Amino acid sequence: MHISVLLNESIDGLNILENGIYVDATLGYGGHSSEILKRIKKGFLFAIDQDSDAIKYSQERLSKINDNFEIIHTNFKNIKSELNKRNVYEVDGIIFDLGVSSVQLDDGERGFSYHYDAKLDMRMDKNNDFSAINVVNEYSEKDLVRIIRDFGEEKFANSIARNIVKYRTNKKIETTFELVDIISKSIPMKAKRDKHPARKTFQAIRIEVNHELDILEQTMKDALSLLKPGGRLAVITFHSLEDRIVKNVFREYTEVDSLVKGLPKIPDEFKKDFVLVNKKAYIPSDEEIANNNRSRSAKLRIIERIKE
């Protein structure tokens, strides 16, 4: 079962009001949503996800707590338009947990994991036609290098891309283990000692399939625009690319002009509408990492609206 990372820190960080309106923009298997629902006896929760398996499970889980919630089956990039459709223009808090759930990783049939032999897939939304099969079999060598290098931060991107293209001239790449084998043969032995050789490339392909980074910056800005004064946005990231985007957006919304930054009292007209709740990202404790190794790379950043 999926274990929600930094659960207490993120829920406490939202500063939940009993009668507040909250959004879990990445419902998954309901870990964060469950904790929010327990605290909002008179409030309401909107939960968003594009994974029909997760929605089915969470509907049942959340219904056991109370019924003041609605699950919206969509990509979180539609957070603002979907809430506006429901005549909701302001909320008290929003949470994003940007990681792939353990359930998705552990379900071999979903093709996310390099530990299980399965058909290459990696779609968060199973209704989409485009999957990892398309990426590895149809992308040019140049485009494969770009995504493996940029989204996976893989220094052996050139040799991996070259070998993918070489392999598929004889046979279509259809399974996770076929791809793992190609990647493994493309990386020097000494680079394979500490971590699984396919980890970075699989991350890169998953990001490409689901357009994870394309939509993140605008989604963060849309989420911030929905917050009431006192409302908070909490975001959990799992790799440096996501974290950099979130950090930069938060900086843009909280940093005052350099001309007045050093003044003992900053004039009101220069003050920003938002403040960082935590200047340094929260990270999991040693105990949490020991209990859930997948939490090791997680970072939590929280921002609060302070002005209309």
What's the CATH code, domain 104-210? 1.10.150.170
- The pair of structure tokens assigned to 261 is 């930054």
Give alpha helix (H) positions in the chain: 7-13, 31-39, 52-63, 79-85, 102-106, 132-138, 141-152, 157-168, 176-186, 199-210, 216-226, 240-254, 286-291
Q: What pLDDT is stored for residue 307 in this prediction?
A: 85
Look over the chain and give the mean of its residue pLDDT values, rounded to a whole number: 91
Sorted by sequence, the CB contacts under 8 Å of residue 196 that are 6+ apart come out as 114, 115
Closest CA to 254 of 237, 268, 272: 272
Q: What pLDDT is stored for residue 106 in this prediction?
A: 60
pTM equals 0.89
What's the CATH code, domain 7-98+213-305? 3.40.50.150
Secondary structure of 171-212 as H, E, C letters: CCCCEHHHHHHHHHHHCCHHHHCCCCCCHHHHHHHHHHHHCC
Is the model's pLDDT at 109 over the cut of 80? no
The domain ranges of the chain are 7-98+213-305, 104-210
Residues 256 and 272: beta-carbon distance below 8 Å: yes
pLDDT band for 293, please (50, 70, 90 cuts).
confident
- The pair of structure tokens assigned to 208 is 């490409």
pLDDT band for 179, please (50, 70, 90 cuts).
very high
Q: What pLDDT is stored for residue 261 in this prediction?
A: 73
Q: pLDDT per residue over 20-68, tens digit each? A: 999 999 999 999 999 999 999 899 999 999 988 889 999 999 999 999 9
Q: What pLDDT is stored for residue 186 in this prediction?
A: 96
Give the C-alpha separation, 166 to 34, whole Å.
Answer: 48
Q: pLDDT per residue over 63-90, tens digit each? A: 999 999 999 999 999 999 999 999 999 9
Per-residue pLDDT, averaged over 243-250, amounts to 96
Is the model's pLDDT at 104 over the cut of 70? no
* End-to-end alpha carbon distance in the chain: 41
